[in-house]
């Protein structure tokens, strides 16, 4: 069985500092035998303000952050799901929150742009409006890997089970969820949401989060975890420290569960994805 890893970080506003931390954790995970590594949302930058992402945005296919990710995957012979990084779009004042997948030869083999943007009011003092600086994606993405078929999602996406059912219908066996959950919503909903998405679709869910208090004073929930297809949490980290959660992927177990309760065959209601597109790499 293959080992997968959810990497937890407390990213700062300094890209080089974050890449240095990521390199250390990637090396550690590779030495532990992990072959699929999932980095958190905003892995390269948690800006002092939200528009700092626009200052370090890269054109897809080139740039310091992407070169780093390609080099790390090639160096350690691992697959990396690169959290989200800011990729330029047609709007000069916004970016795409792109989750890039690199194979063990350093090739970017898939890209998912976060679809559901976090425009919410948590309390009178905690509000977010990602749509001010992020342009939403419109593609549902799966990718074949040596460990199983990956479905790609990011953070707030987890509250939209129709996306996960679309990934399931496209053949996903492992769903990756780079995240930066707030403390309040994390305490209330993080684990139950990830376990629900795993149970509904009988898939592995890998939630890799930001954790702790960042240099912009924002606090994120951490508690990165990996859920197996029956819904049990098989690996978990704490709330505030950088680290790595590991688990083994048992595809025969997944297939046995799906055969015993064949929800794919029993499904009666199918979602109309409207303007969304499917990308199966």
Q: Which of 10, 41, 89, 108 is catalytic?
A: 41
Q: Which of 10, 108, 155, 166 is catalytic?
A: 155
Active site residue 57: no
- What is the tens place of the pLDDT at every residue in 143-173? 999 999 999 999 999 999 999 999 999 999 9
Active site residue 155: yes
Closest by alpha carbon to 188, among 243, 254, 123, 280? Answer: 123
**pLDDT at residue number 273:** 76
**Rounded Cα–Cα distance for residues 126 and 227 (Å):** 29
- What is the tens place of the pLDDT at every residue in 233-271? 999 998 778 999 999 999 999 999 999 999 999 999 987
Q: Where are the domains of the chain?
A: 2-280
**CATH architecture type of domain 2-280:** 4-Layer Sandwich (3.60)
Q: Which of 108, 114, 130, 149 is catalytic?
A: 114
Active site residue 41: yes
């Amino acid at each position: 069985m293959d080992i997968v890893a959810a990497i937890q970080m407390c990213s700062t506003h300094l890209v080089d500092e974050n890449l240095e931390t990521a390199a250390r954790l990637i090396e550690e995970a590779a030495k532990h035998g992990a072959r699929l590594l999932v980095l958190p949302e905003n892995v390269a930058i948690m800006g002092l303000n939200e528009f700092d992402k626009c200052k370090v945005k890269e054109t897809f296919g080139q740039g310091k952050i992407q070169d780093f990710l390609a080099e790390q995957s090639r160096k350690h012979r691992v697959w990396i799901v690169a959290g989200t990084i800011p990729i330029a779009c047609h709007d000069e004042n916004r970016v795409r929150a792109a989750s890039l997948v690199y194979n063990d030869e350093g090739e970017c083999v898939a890209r998912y742009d976060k679809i559901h943007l976090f425009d919410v009011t948590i309390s009178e003092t905690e509000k977010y409006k990602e749509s001010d600086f992020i342009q939403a994606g419109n593609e549902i993405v799966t990718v074949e890997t040596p460990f199983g078929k990956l479905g790609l999602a990011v953070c707030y996406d987890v509250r939209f089970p129709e996306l996960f059912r679309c990934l399931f219908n496209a053949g996903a066996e492992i769903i990756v969820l780079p995240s930066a959950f707030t403390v309040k919503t994390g305490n209330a909903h993080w684990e139950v949401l990830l376990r629900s998405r795993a149970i509904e679709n009988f898939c592995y869910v890998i939630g890799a989060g930001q954790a702790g208090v960042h240099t912009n004073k924002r606090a994120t929930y951490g508690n990165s975890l990996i859920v197996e297809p029956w819904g049990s949490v098989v690996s978990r980290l704490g709330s505030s420290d950088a680290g790595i959660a590991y688990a083994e992927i048992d595809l025969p177990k997944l297939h046995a569960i799906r055969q015993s309760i064949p929800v794919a065959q029993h499904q009666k209601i199918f979602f109309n994805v409207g303007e969304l597109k499917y990308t199966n790499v």
